[in-house]
Amino acid sequence: MVFPRMGKKEYESSCVMSNIVDNKPQRRVVCAAIRNCKGDIICGARHYDDIMRAQVRASKNKRYWKGYLKVFGKYIYRYKRVEQGFIDQWGVYMSREEALEVAKAAGQMLRRCGGDRRELFSENLY
């Protein structure tokens, strides 16, 4: 099949119609992700689903993925050890707050759930 050549005006209007700006597609939220204190990222369909937990178990440094830290034989809760967020189509990690803005701009918010005024939840997307 042969496609007709587009002039500059037609190309620019097609980019606007498909949300492409400066030859770059619009940023979109792709999937849930967690990031540890070292900057390592694990992805999954939902936060801490079976696939994500299997990746944590297979990790060489499991201690960096746990919310609990063992100190002198006692477990101490360390909430900030692992951050929940999302990644975009280029594999860039986003916090829940940043991902909410990206999802709204891309028209990805399919449904509302509790607490989604400030943070994005995977339930908002699918």
Residue 15 lies in a domain: no
pLDDT in tens, 51-97: 988 898 888 877 777 665 555 665 555 555 788 999 999 999 999 99
Domain range for 77: 24-125
Residue 89 lies in a domain: yes
Residue 13 lies in a domain: no
CA 103 – CA 119 distance, rounded (Å): 11
Residue 88 lies in a domain: yes
Residue 7 lies in a domain: no
Q: Which residue has the higher pLDDT, 123 or 79?
A: 123
Residue 98 lies in a domain: yes
Q: How many domains does the chain have?
A: 1
The whole-chain average pLDDT of the chain stands at 78
DSSP assignments along 23-89, one per residue: TBPPP-EEEEEEEETT--EEEESSTT-HHHHHHHHH-S-GGGT-SEEEETTEEEE-GGGEEEEEEET
pLDDT in tens, 9-24: 554 554 444 555 567 7
Q: Cα Rg for the chain, rounded, in angstroms?
A: 19
3 state DSSP class of 21: strand
Residue 3 lies in a domain: no
